[in-house]
Structure 1
Amino acid sequence: MDRKDFLLALDDVLELDPGTLTGAETLESLDSWDSLAVISFIALVDETMNVVVEGEKLAQAKTVDDLLALAGVAVTA
């Protein structure tokens, strides 16, 4: 899955309009980034990227780009 597709999938997880996320957003600024979104993100990464996200690293994530990096998706456009 490339960056664009992963951002679209993350839009869906966060119940945002498709194309909303660019990667630069802070997680703190996203009203829909809550405990359910965290679990959904972990599941998305596991299912689509076959990557297990470590809880400690996820807790350190501050931006959507940080999430992309945890998923193994190239951060640059």
Structure 2
Amino acid sequence: MDLSDARWVKSSFSGDNGGNCVEVAELRGVTDGQAELVAVRDSKDPDGPKLFFTPAEWDAFLNGVKADEFGPSLGDR
């Protein structure tokens, strides 16, 4: 999949000091402009592997993070 035109956005939880950063890009459809897939990559390895999610899958993941379904919150670490 060609991602050369993807607009990658770094997580708002990422600091300016490098480290463990996640970037996300919405891959939009040609006809309706709606996101067809959400791509996720490690900012330290932009040419490395990417994960792809449907918008519904991505929303479910974000809702799970907000509900602390995946373990201790970031403030507890």
TM-score bracket relative to the smaller structure? under 0.3
Higher-Rg structure is 2
Q: Pick the structure with more strand per residue.
A: 2
| TM-score, structure 2 normalization | 0.26
Q: Pick the structure with more helix per residue.
A: 1
Bigger relative contact order, structure 1 or 2, given CA contacts below 8 A and separation 6+?
1
| TM-score, structure 1 normalization | 0.26
